[in-house]
Amino acid sequence: MENYVQISIVITSTCLLMTSVWFLGIRRSKTKRRPIEERPVGEPCGRDYNIQRAVLPRASGWTLKFLTTLSNSLIGSLTSSITLSQTNMNLFQGLHLDDVPTYQPSFPFCGPPAAVNEKCTTDNLILKRRKKSRKEFTYYSVSEFHQAYLSGEVTPAEVAEDAIEAIKASEAREPKLRAIVEYNTFEIRRMAKESTDRYNEGSYLSVFDGVPIAFKNELHCVPYHRRAGSDILGREESTQDATVVAKMREAGAIIIGMTNMHEFGLGTTGCNPGKLHGTARNPYNTNHYTGGSSSGSAAAVSAGLCPVAFGTDAGGSIRIPSSFCGVVGLKATLGRISYYGGAGQCYSCLHCGPICTSVRDAALAYATVAGPDPLDQFSVHQPEVTLWNFDDTDLSSIKLGIDWRFFRDCDKDVLSACEKAVKYLEQNGAKVIDIEIPEMEETRIAHAITCMAEMKPTITKDLINNYDEIACESRVILSAVDDLKATDFILANKQRTRTIKFLREIYEKVDVIITPGTPFTAPEIQPGDLKYGLFDSNLMTGIMRYMFLGNFIGNPCLVVPVGFSQKGLPISLQIHGRWWEEDVVLRIGNVAEMACPSRPQPEVFYSLL
């Protein structure tokens, strides 16, 4: 009887709370929405910085479980309406835009013609091995693995054994790191032996020959499963490699396994309650999240399990975990790196790219996997891949665009570190130009609508047949999609046309746009999060604050660690470049990296050399 009363109180209280939030949401949407008809067609809506905060309460544990049940009950439509209203996802409903929608972005070739750029080669990026100070912590680079193999100091086979032991140790500790969620010791040893034989014969394939790498389990990689972070996908082993996997395999890399991720890429924390996955932990503090959705890739690189791992990015999923875990993450121009062999969600915003311990390694990985791929329609038409003037630290010809209202919308530790990094770039000759990016909130919402609308059809069948096995957070988000209308999707892509136009105008004045990586450091894991996950729209949108722009317009973005908070958590700077100008972004990132000359060793770290 007592339990029945308690349950009744909870149900009644929850319904009253949700009704109140719904009412407030209606009032909020009516008072804050401005009709687009009042704005000149094709012109900015105004210069006010207008990014809004979501107001839905945080839910995890049994609370989230209960809310998930409600969202799929008779009052599910009501809860979906609340979610859309309180996250401003209904911004476009009832509005009008005359712009032609951009459903599949394509970008003009900018910058100097390929003929004047130096040939893209990794040879001039290879550095000799450094002598490490006992007091200074630094990661081992791809070049150092290569040089160690050339000298005979160590073999790929020996490094592979160390990698296997490190993976096992990372899973034996408490809490488990959960960076690598699937690995095959036979495959690792086979690839390592073949690499060792090549070095013994003097016929190594590339600088990556024998280097341990890993791939997000959103990508096909023989003989592993492409599960996309979910217990309901990837029932069968992959029989064909994704293009990036094939290219790294051709370069001789040792694939040590598949990395963890936020289920379906639908979250930004990396919290995954799935039985096959669990939640990846931040190597700098295992009580904090890695960020998502490429959580395991960033954790693996940060913890030293491999110097390079690949992730995917539709809303910051490479750059967020890289920022939180203190490593480098590159999202190239849409299509620059083939996504063929990926799970296929959010196709017009989705990128594949490397997560590395340094900008130099990011450049090496980029040069290895970038280029046209006839299997990827976004990849076919692109200019030559270059690494023009990568080591030129004189930035006197570079103009940095900063929207200071946007830049300063972050915590004080982040602001301090990023401002110091900007000053360092100025000391190397770069000039800061004040800019204002219009229609930020409209772009943020348009990006979210586009991703959700494109994603839902790709998992509908599995969703229906295995609904109870999907994480609560994913269910809440996917249920909200049902209340979106076709006109929302059309208007969102009309907004993309507008946003691309605005950014093209800005890039006529500056070479890159600079922002922090994330507005705050890695959030702490709260009690109750791990069993059923968490739904926190304010946290999600906050983490993505500097991310959505790059995905929606498809330009290259790089995050680089530039400092640490008072609690010892990593802070990153982000560099947004013009379409196809990854060489410029990487060159500036190579200098920005020097703004943070020393770093603490992660709490969880394994050395393979």
Name the β-bridge partners of 573: 516, 560
Q: How far, rounded to the nearest angstrom, does the alpha carbon of residue 103 sit from its chain's CA centroid? A: 21
Q: How far, rounded to the nearest angstrom, does the alpha carbon of residue 192 sit from its chain's CA centroid? A: 29
- Write the DSSP string, 88-147: TTTTTTT----SPP-SS------SS-GGGSPP--SGGG--PPPPPPSS---PPPHHHHHH
Instruction: Determine whether 275 is an active site residue.
Output: no
Q: Which residue has the tokens 């149900």?
A: 11
Q: Which amino acid is at 146?
A: H
Show Cβ contacts of residue 349 under 8 Å, excluding neighbours closer than 6 positions.
Answer: 314, 315, 334, 447, 450, 451, 454, 551, 552, 554
Sign of the dihedral through C-alpha 10, 13, 19, 24:
negative
Beta strands in 263-380 (DSSP E): 281-282, 285-289, 308-313, 328-331, 351-356
Q: Which residue has the tokens 């839905």?
A: 56
How many C-beta atoms surround the C-beta of residue 402 within 10 A?
20
3-state helix vs strand vs coil in the chain, percent to 5 = 40, 15, 45
Which one from 143, 170, 216, 323 is the annotated catalytic residue?
A: 216
Q: Which residue has the tokens 């996955």?
A: 277
Token pair, residue 561, equals: 């660690």
Yes or no: say if 56 and 538 are a contact pair by the CB < 8 Å rule: yes
The count of residues in the chain is 609
Instruction: Determine whether 29 is an active site residue.
Output: no
Yes or no: say if 105 and 500 are a contact pair by the CB < 8 Å rule: yes
Q: What residue spans of 261-344 are helical by DSSP H?
A: 295-302, 319-325
Nearest to 260 by CA among 280, 246, 234: 280
Token pair, residue 60, equals: 């995890």
Token pair, residue 281, equals: 């932990």
Alpha-carbon distance 290 to 268, whole Å? 9
Token pair, residue 339, equals: 């996504």
Helix axes 185-201, 142-151, angle to 10 degrees: 60
Which one from 170, 238, 295, 317 is the annotated catalytic residue?
A: 317
HSE-CB of 316 using CA atoms within 13 angstroms: 32
Alpha-carbon distance 311 to 329, whole Å? 9
Residue 214 main-chain phi, psi, to 5 deg: -140, 160
In the sheet that holds 254-259, the strands lie side by side as 180-182, 254-259, 212-216, 308-313, 351-356, 328-331, 557-564, 570-577, 512-516, 399-402, 431-434
Q: What residue spans of 310-411 are helical by DSSP H?
A: 319-325, 359-369, 404-407
How many C-beta atoms surround the C-beta of residue 20 within 10 A?
11
Instruction: Determine whether 293 is an active site residue.
Output: yes
Which one from 293, 297, 302, 338 is the annotated catalytic residue?
A: 293
Instruction: Show which residues are catalytic.
Output: 216, 293, 317
